Amino acid sequence: MYPHERSLVKKMQGRPFALVGVNSDRDKQELQEALEKEHITWRSFWDKSTGGPIASTWRVHGWPTLYVLDARGIIRYKWVGGPGEAVMDKAIEKLVKQATVRRTAAR
C-alpha cells in the first residue's frame, strides 16, 4: 500500500493532485513511528480510532476505504479495499488531466 501511495505522490508532483489520509490509529507514538518508517509525507486527519468522528460521518466500515474526488470536490470513485494499482492510477490520471485542462483554460 505505502509504496504505491509514495510513488503516486512522486509521480503527481506539480500536478493538481493531493493524497489526503484519514488515520484511525489510536496510539500517537506508534503512528509517528509508522509515518517516519514508511516515509509517509502526505497529510492525514488523525481520527484516533476506527470509530472516530470522520470515519463515522463517512460511514467507513472497512479499511482501507478510498474515495477519489475531482477538482470540484465531487465524488467520482469509491473503493472499499484497494481496487489494484492499475485501476487507481487510471482513474486518477483521467481526473488530473481534466483538472489540468480546466486550469489551463481558466488562465
**In the complex, least distance from residue 105 CB atom to another protein, rounded to whole angstroms:** 13
CA distance readout (Å), 44 to 20, 32, 56, 98, 102? 6, 12, 16, 25, 27
Smallest separation, CB 99 to another protein (Å) = 5
| CB closer to another protein, 3 vs 20 | 20
- Whole-angstrom Cα distance, residue 6 to residue 42? 9
Half-sphere exposure for 55 (CA within 13 Å, toward CB): 20
Q: How far is the CB of 1 from another protein (least distance, A)?
A: 7
Q: In the bound complex, what is the minimum distance in angstroms from residue 63's beta carbon to another protein?
A: 5
Contact positions vs another protein (CB under 8 A)? 1, 5, 8, 16-26, 28, 30-32, 34-35, 43-47, 50, 53-55, 57-60, 63-78, 87-88, 91-92, 95-96, 99, 103
Q: Which is nearer to another protein, 3 or 32 (CB)?
A: 32
Give the DSSP H or E segment for 103. helix 85-106
Distance CA 1, CA 17 (A): 18
